Amino acid sequence: MSYVITGKCLGERYATCVAVCPVDCIHPGEYQGQEFMIIDPEECIDCGACLPECPIEAIVETEEESPEWAVINKDLTPSFKGKPQPTPRPANDPPRKPENKLRG
């Protein structure tokens, strides 16, 4: 099992999750012409460190919670790996999409 980054991240990409990942399994890239992050399911150790870091709750604990995004994370992994990590956005920066809300 692996944690999964969902569509809430698409166009948002706070990238606050990257710094806390002990195995560097979170990678940036573009999907559908928008900024996005993925979790490499082969590298993820299910530690949960990333989950509380996402200010818009774009990460889910299991592939079953978002099977369609689990497939997208897996499929995008080869093209996202090796890209330089983006500068994280402040966790209190308002979401770009109105449907996303800051946790709190």
Evaluate whether 95 touches 102 at the Cβ level (below 8 Å).
yes
- The mean pLDDT of the chain is 96
* 34: three-class secondary structure by DSSP: strand
Which letter does DSSP use for residue 94 in this model?
A: P
* Residue 42 falls inside a structural domain: yes
pLDDT in tens, 25-72: 999 999 999 999 999 999 999 999 999 999 999 999 999 999 999 999
The C-alpha atoms of residue 56 and residue 14 are separated, in whole angstroms, by 9
Domain count, the chain: 1
- Domain harbouring 75, CATH code: 3.30.70.20
> What is the pTM for the complete model shown?
0.96
* Residue 29 falls inside a structural domain: yes
